[in-house]
Amino acid sequence: MIALFTDFGLDGPYTGQVKAVLHAMAPGVPVIDLLADAPACDPRSSAYLLAALVPEMPAGCVVLAVVDPGVGGPRPAVVIEVDGRLLVGPDNGLFEPLCRRGTAVRGWEIVWRPERLSATFHGRDLFAPVAARLAAGIDVEAAGCRPSDLPARPDWPDDLAAVIYCDRYGNAWTGIRAAALSATAVVTVGGAPIRHARTYGEVPPGTAFWYENSCGLAEIAINGGAADRTLGLGVGTPLVV
């Protein structure tokens, strides 16, 4: 299958245009919306979010990941294989945590170019056709790619001590893997100390806590409330552990 991870949103034409290309070039291959509201124009926050979501995808999946504020600029376009999954998108750090945590990793640069290539919509014109070819079973190099060194951002931390996503319930996902924290760890955000609980029912209504979410990240929530609005949290809000 093809899994879409983008900051395009579901309003407007962008996601629909990408899906139209995928369906035309890889008919019969399921396309799922893994995430359509990744942090807009923020590859760094999105990278830690993507790294938490991709391990849930089955081996053989093609992940089309586009958070690309540098579209039309000099950043390369890449395909990366991480533990049996192929990722297609821009080389702007979006795949850095995945590459760092993977056990079997290979990379290619996309050198193929379509006849029509919009300067500002490589998700539709470049990345989607390559992802469709890969999902249809075409070899990576036959799809217009050449082996390349993997992207690297050695200055990026292994875990990002910041909010990387706020969901529709107002819960704030952080870029910290919960396994890196002890149950006694206190997370301070905006001067407020927040302690651990395993689940909502372990704290009184209206109480803020952090817990390990279903993707393995430390997440800040309020029992019966919205942590983002109550605590003034948003993507990029820094944390202290």
- Yes or no: say if 166 and 228 are a contact pair by the CB < 8 Å rule: yes
- Yes or no: say if 224 and 208 are a contact pair by the CB < 8 Å rule: no
Residue 151: the pLDDT is: 73
Residue 136 lies in a domain: yes
128-135 and 14-25 helices cross at what angle (nearest 10)? 40
Looking at residue 37, which CATH number applies to its domain?
3.40.50.10790
Structure tokens, 155: 């200055």
* Dihedral class, residue 200 (left if φ above 0, else alpha if ψ from -120 to 50, else beta): alpha
Residue 76: the pLDDT is: 95
Residue 195: the pLDDT is: 97
Query: By C-alpha distance, which of 159, 169, 157 is closest to 217?
Result: 159
CA 68 to each of CA 127, 137, 161: distance values in angstroms, whole numbers, following the listed order: 11, 26, 22
> Which among 147, 181, 201 is the end of a domain?
147
Residue 154 lies in a domain: no
- Spell out, as residue ranges, where the chain has pLDDT lower than 70: none
Task: Compute the distance between CA of residue 154 and CA of residue 137 in angstroms, rounded to an integer.
Answer: 33
- Yes or no: say if 172 and 229 are a contact pair by the CB < 8 Å rule: no
Query: By C-alpha distance, which of 106, 8, 98 is closest to 56?
Result: 98
Structure tokens, 234: 């948003």
Q: Number of folded domains in the chain?
A: 2
- Residue-range definition of the domain harbouring residue 92: 2-147
Is residue 130 domain-shared with residue 180, that is, in the same domain? no
Is residue 143 domain-shared with residue 183, that is, in the same domain? no
Structure tokens, 91: 């080389």
Residue 8: the pLDDT is: 97
Residue 191: the pLDDT is: 86
pTM score of the predicted model: 0.96
Residue 82: the pLDDT is: 97
Residue 152: the pLDDT is: 84
Residue 241 lies in a domain: no
Is residue 138 domain-shared with residue 210, that is, in the same domain? no
Phi, psi of 89 (to 5 degrees): 170, -165
